[in-house]
Structure 1
């Protein structure tokens, strides 16, 4: 329940309490880098402690890919989805079957194989198309066909360039899961071209919102060339 509050703050929900928190505590700082003052209330310090536990995956030492998931260039909801995927916590059909549920194992999006985490994101032709259009064709970034966050954490390039590519990747991951659920519950599937455009536009808006933090001329030129600024 406290984790849900952490997520609400990250998403900047339209809530009086969330707005009060941002106004009185966070004050335009990065929520996942924010540290409460020592004279904060016990309740607020507890929320911040849970936030740290979520960000660190309940680990004593941060995993090497923590900055991949919580990059400031990605939207909060995309960050949270990336964290869930990193821990293989999505309730894909294969997992539901392992729980004893009687469900059709076939991927609803493509109908060509059973749904699993790896299939949903990297084998399904629809998903591969979304990733290709969102990331590879836009930035020229090739990527492994597995959830390999260690690979992302060791990529070259500047922080801005790497963060922008990761933001596109996380945006595509989020959008694929969203479309999978729309397909399952509403029988609606949007063309991958349209999904990729939405992912790119979301990251572009995020970058423009933090434009003042980009000081390097090479980064600005790179973002302009990739139509992300």
Structure 2
């Protein structure tokens, strides 16, 4: 049942009455009950109005006529009528979407290591609790990097301006045929985003990069919280072992692909 086949906005010019709450019992008795009567198809009766505004509303409601058109739902999410509700359209309209970024291609890699993917995601957003962020939160901590003890710790310093992390990544970059430039966070990201050619080498490079991030961050935490120190060679061995274990896990799916990637990693 539709009322005059008109939008509700045109049927409700008296949205608020001065000094009267919609939840009051007098409001329910005076207007809501007659509306229910009107919706049921019977003649609505209103009590005596107590103000000019209520009298105007009573006159308006008393002259509403109902049509025999069957009830129907109509969606207008973008201003155009539609009989179908599409949740994806509503999401696009009400969501606050940021411009797409291309770094997801090197972070959420297919068949990557989940904990490495997530840590790379946090590091990319600079959300890890590095000492510069702890100091910004007004915590009293030693600002120096626990890996080199020469510069204040920050995301960009750890990856890869620190002498300790530079030593690790430079050796891996040489093995992976990456450009030999002074490694910084932005330069490494640009070189990874520009990867092309052999898909096996690209996968191996991204896997090695994320494993390096994970091992450097783990070494940083171990030194900071356990007072235990590892060498760059130890980290390189752990990174190599992690990559080999991950690739070996694919043998049951595609032995040829796993063998090709292991051969690349052995060069």
TM-score normalised by structure 2 residue count? 0.56
User: What aligned pairs does 1:89-108 form with structure 2 within 5 A after superposition?
Assistant: 89-108=127-146
Quick check: 1:181 aligned with 2:218? no
- The separation in 2 between residues aligned to 1:91 and 1:84, in whole angstroms, is 10
Larger RCO (CA within 8 A; separation ≥ 6): 1
- The separation in 1 between residues aligned to 2:232 and 2:213, in whole angstroms, is 13
Quick check: 1:227 aligned with 2:266? yes
- The separation in 2 between residues aligned to 1:222 and 1:163, in whole angstroms, is 9
For structure 1, the residue ranges without an aligned partner over 5 or more in a row are 1-57
Return closer, same or farther for 1:124/1:99 CA change in 2, 3 Å cut-off: same
- SS of equivalent to 1:122: helix
Return closer, same or farther for 1:65/1:176 CA change in 2, 3 Å cut-off: same
Return closer, same or farther for 1:66/1:59 CA change in 2, 3 Å cut-off: farther
Displacement of 1:198 in angstroms is 0.7
- SS of equivalent to 1:226: helix
Return closer, same or farther for 1:63/1:102 CA change in 2, 3 Å cut-off: same
Deviation digits for residues 160-204 of structure 1, max 9, x if unmatched?
211110110110011101100100111111111111111111111
Return closer, same or farther for 1:137/1:201 CA change in 2, 3 Å cut-off: farther
* Residues 208 and 243, structure 2, Cα contact 8 Å, conserved in 1: yes
Displacement of 1:158 in angstroms is 2.3
Deviates more, 1:137-146 or 1:60-69: 137-146
Displacement of 1:94 in angstroms is 0.7
User: What aligned pairs does 1:17-36 form with structure 2 within 5 A after superposition?
Assistant: none
**Which residue pairs with 1:204 in the alignment?**
244
- SS of equivalent to 1:195: helix
Q: Based on CA coordinates, which of the two structures has the bigger radius of gyration?
A: 2
Quick check: 1:84 aligned with 2:122? yes
TM-score normalised by structure 1 residue count? 0.65
**Which residue pairs with 1:52 in the alignment?**
none
- The separation in 1 between residues aligned to 2:98 and 2:216, in whole angstroms, is 31
**Which residue pairs with 2:160 in the alignment?**
122
Return closer, same or farther for 1:141/1:154 CA change in 2, 3 Å cut-off: closer
For structure 2, the residue ranges without an aligned partner over 5 or more in a row are 1-95
Please give the root-mean-square deviation of Cα atoms over the aligned residues, in Å.
2.5
Displacement of 1:220 in angstroms is 5.1
4+ residue runs over 6 A deviation: none
Quick check: 1:111 aligned with 2:145? no
* Residues 159 and 213, structure 2, Cα contact 8 Å, conserved in 1: yes
**Which residue pairs with 1:195 in the alignment?**
235
Q: Between Structure 1 and Structure 2, which shows a larger proportion of helix residues?
A: 1
Displacement of 1:93 in angstroms is 0.5
- SS of equivalent to 1:174: helix
**Which residue pairs with 1:7 in the alignment?**
none
Displacement of 1:136 in angstroms is 2.1
- The separation in 1 between residues aligned to 2:261 and 2:207, in whole angstroms, is 15
